[in-house]
Structure 1
Amino acid sequence: MSDRSEADRLAQESALARLVRRPEAGAFIVMIVVVTMITFASDFKAFNALGLKNNLAIIAQFGIIATGAALLMIGGEFDLSIGSMIGFAGMSMAMMLKWGLPFGLGEATPFLAFAITLAMTLSLGWLIGTIVVRSGLSSFIVSLAFLFFLRGTTEVSFRLINQSTQISGLPDFKEQSWVAWAFGGEMFGWVYDAWFALGGNINRRGEQWVDGFDARVLWWLIIAGVAYFVLSRTQLGNWIYATGDNKDSARANGVPVNRVKTSLFMFTAFCATIFAACQVFDTNTADAAKGNLMELNAIAIAVVGGTLMTGGFGSVIGVAFGAVTFGLVANAVFYIPWLDGSFYRVFVGVVLLAAVFANERIRKRITGGI
């Protein structure tokens, strides 16, 4: 009997140890703490009908770009151009939507504006990845160069063509274009229908006052779901982990390392373009400053979500937990009157440093202390 009890105890300890070693374990704990604190500090306003909508909009934005950054980091590289790519993509779409296309094509439809912009950003992602894998240069330096190049190109183009770094007052294409609605409309209205029935989404006139979540929430769920499936269920996922863990060993085992890395740079460009499209078609505006410092938020969320800086280890679920945490804290100033907005940066610094130490312990445990 005692032997069986001892075996059961060891089995439970082993299960607990495996759970703690999972990359998303720390991110989940931090998320629960933050959700609990913000819930009570905001007197539950952060999770009423409007609060839930606004919080999920920020969370989804973080989640979209952090998922792309995390996969690239798992593959052993960094992309500091994500934020500038957001501004560049937003400028491209807004200018085509305002002035149309040359060569007799007339006013650009939302579909053409998005498709042409996506072709450009994917080409830029391919170019960044190709330079990194062909030259052997650090992706940190190469993407940093493109950070400045894309931001400068965006600002110069705005000033030359628009005489301003902003475009506002674009037509609202959502009523006439399914593409514009897919990026800037509202989804999951049935959630608020249920909320309305329970009396949680009624204004003073007795009418429903929030109709659904922003479309970017759906895009985040799609991107995160596909990324999770790829990492956990496909050969490409194995290739990504192997490339980030040891690219020489991976190459020796037949992994197309260069193509994997280039594809991941293109994926981060895709995520940045989706982010920009959601902003442009939601607000009908564009600004050269859009996406500023978003690359740092994306990397921070990936690290807090359990992604190792050295590559080869990470989890999309952990990134989702990190996005929820960062989004709630970034938006908390609107629900907690006494909270200064600068506390968000303090939070990011403290949590990021703690995550780096935790991830380093995980790395040493995996590599046997190397």
Structure 2
Amino acid sequence: MAQRSESDRLADETWLQRTIRKPEIGAFVVMIVIIVALTAASNGKAFNALGLKNNIQIISQYGIIAIGAAMLMIAGEFDLSIGSMIGFAGMSMALMLKWGLPFGLGEATPLMAFALTLAMTLAIGWAIGTIVVRSGLSSFIVTLGFLFFLRGVTEVAFRLINKSTQVSGLPDFKEESWVAWSFGGEVFGWFYDAWFWLGQRFVDMGFERTDQWFLLGGNLNRRGTQWVEGFDARFFWFILIAVVASFVLSRTKLGNWIFATGDNKESARANGVPVNKVKVGLFMFTAFCATIFAACQVFENNTADAAKGNLMELFAIAIAVVGGTLMTGGFGSILGVVFGAITVGLVSNAVFFIPAIDGAWFRVFLGAILLAAVFANERIRKRITGGI
């Protein structure tokens, strides 16, 4: 009797078995548990109008950098310089907006400040990637060096230029610049407009308006008027980056190259995959994500600080792992990273909705869920590779 092939076995799997094999399934289950638990513990306040806006804000900022980290991890590399890149990019933009373009070239518009900063961060990302692929050194060590280097340069250089590692009191450019508004404004206002309309209908029907409303009119203040008008613009960037990254990974030749590079770079190279270019490009992508993160902070708050982004590289890697990305490369999904960002973002923000919780429990949870995710991801990898 002929033995059954691996393809025959996979073809006979049920829908449930195929679902369990997906990298994002564990993150999805944990996310649902956290949403249910937080809703009950906060009496729905975590998901009223303002609660939802605040949660989406932190979820989006985690998600933006975690997607960049996950793409690079799927290709088998790490970037520990993401947090320092955020601080460098934010200070660069803010100083140009305050003092003008370098070398006395005139006043800087938000578009100029962002474009020049992006050019610098992409160049740094290219340099990091080139050092990694040309030297053969571990990306962990190379990017750890850049973590310290970038943070130090940012603090020293901008202290000399600005006499401080902080920039505050910038004009609110959102009123006059579409670039500033696209990073620091509010988006998807129609969602809250619809929520407000729904709340008014329930009030008109005689329902009592309370501050604990979850969905039934939670966007009404004490005077019965709309009190939240939209999400922070970083939510739009999170969605856009997630959609584009997911499409690239699942629908393009580049996505196949990324998975092949992380799975076995020598085999990928033998099959014509430009491994070095793929890796350098992904280091530049993490720099791009860090710059978007920084731009959202600068144009939303009209301030910048060289210390911004501290430890964000660790959150990015942790979220990627919680989302099902393997530390060894070759396996992961953007949808899983989105689920991971929602989970970590909700738990980190829970202290504001449940004051009885000590904020330190967030780190306990993150450490525990990270270890659980590593074991779960390794088990999934062995199931897929047949125990190799």
Instruction: Find the counterpart in structure 2 of residue 362 from structure 1.
Output: 380
Tell me, what secondary structure is at the counterpart of 1:351?
A: helix
Which of 231, 236, 240 is matched with 2:258 structurally?
A: 240
The superposition leaves residues 65-107 of structure 1 with CA deviations (integer Å, 9 ceiling, x where unpaired) of 0000000000010000000000000010010011111344322
Query: For 1:180 and 1:11, how far apart are their aligned partners in 2?
Result: 51
- Are residue 251 (structure 1) and residue 251 (structure 2) matched? no
Query: For 2:383 and 2:48, how far apart are their aligned partners in 1?
Result: 42
Tell me, what secondary structure is at the counterpart of 2:384?
A: helix
Query: For 1:291 and 1:176, how far apart are their aligned partners in 2?
Result: 27
- Are residue 327 (structure 1) and residue 345 (structure 2) matched? yes
Tell me, what secondary structure is at the counterpart of 2:147?
A: helix
Instruction: Find the counterpart in structure 2 of residue 202 from structure 1.
Output: 220
Instruction: Find the counterpart in structure 2 of residue 7 from structure 1.
Output: none
Query: For 1:364 and 1:250, how far apart are their aligned partners in 2?
Result: 21
- Are residue 302 (structure 1) and residue 320 (structure 2) matched? yes
Would you say the 8 A contact 2:21–2:384 is kept in 1?
Answer: no
Q: Which moved more, 1:103-112 or 1:295-304?
A: 103-112
Instruction: Find the counterpart in structure 1 of residue 152 from structure 2.
Output: 152
Query: For 1:158 and 1:265, how far apart are their aligned partners in 2?
Result: 25
Instruction: Find the counterpart in structure 1 of residue 193 from structure 2.
Output: 193
Query: For 2:84 and 2:128, how far apart are their aligned partners in 1?
Result: 13
Query: For 2:126 and 2:379, how far apart are their aligned partners in 1?
Result: 34
Query: For 1:325 and 1:233, how far apart are their aligned partners in 2?
Result: 26
The superposition leaves residues 231-281 of structure 1 with CA deviations (integer Å, 9 ceiling, x where unpaired) of 000000000000000000000000000000000000000000000000000
Runs of 4+ in 1 over 4 A off after TM superposition: 10-13
Query: For 1:22 and 1:210, how far apart are their aligned partners in 2?
Result: 37
Would you say the 8 A contact 2:96–2:102 is kept in 1?
Answer: no
Tell me, what secondary structure is at the counterpart of 1:198?
A: helix
Report deviation, 1:160: 1.1
- Are residue 20 (structure 1) and residue 20 (structure 2) matched? yes
Would you say the 8 A contact 2:110–2:180 is kept in 1?
Answer: yes
Query: For 2:107 and 2:44, how far apart are their aligned partners in 1?
Result: 46
Report deviation, 1:11: 8.6
Tell me, what secondary structure is at the counterpart of 2:101?
A: coil
The superposition leaves residues 101-132 of structure 1 with CA deviations (integer Å, 9 ceiling, x where unpaired) of 13443221000000000000000000000000
Report deviation, 1:13: 5.9
Report deviation, 1:366: 2.3
Report deviation, 1:157: 2.0
Query: For 1:59 and 1:211, how far apart are their aligned partners in 2?
Result: 18
Query: For 1:106 and 1:204, how far apart are their aligned partners in 2?
Result: 48
Residue identity in the other structure for 2:231: F
The superposition leaves residues 304-358 of structure 1 with CA deviations (integer Å, 9 ceiling, x where unpaired) of 1000000000000000000000110111111001011111101110000000001
Query: For 2:228 and 2:12, how far apart are their aligned partners in 1?
Result: 46
The superposition leaves residues 195-252 of structure 1 with CA deviations (integer Å, 9 ceiling, x where unpaired) of 1112221112222111100000000000000000000000000000000000000000
Residue identity in the other structure for 2:281: S
Query: For 1:11 and 1:110, how far apart are their aligned partners in 2?
Result: 54
Residue identity in the other structure for 1:300: A
Tell me, what secondary structure is at the counterpart of 1:197?
A: helix
TM-score (norm 2): 0.91
- Are residue 343 (structure 1) and residue 361 (structure 2) matched? yes
Instruction: Find the counterpart in structure 1 of residue 138 from structure 2.
Output: 138
TM-score (norm 1): 0.96
Q: How does 1:54-69 map to 2 (within 5 A)?
A: 54-69=54-69
Gaps of 5+ in 2: 1-9, 200-216
Query: For 2:66 and 2:102, how far apart are their aligned partners in 1?
Result: 35
Report deviation, 1:24: 0.2
Query: For 1:14 and 1:52, how far apart are their aligned partners in 2?
Result: 37
Give % identity: 79
Instruction: Find the counterpart in structure 1 of residue 212 from structure 2.
Output: none
Report deviation, 1:15: 1.7
Query: For 2:221 and 2:136, how far apart are their aligned partners in 1?
Result: 59
Instruction: Find the counterpart in structure 2 of residue 112 from structure 1.
Output: 112
Instruction: Find the counterpart in structure 1 of residue 6 from structure 2.
Output: none
- CA 1:102 to 1:143, structure 2 compared with 1: closer, same or farther past 3 Å? closer
Report deviation, 1:289: 1.1
- Are residue 213 (structure 1) and residue 226 (structure 2) matched? no
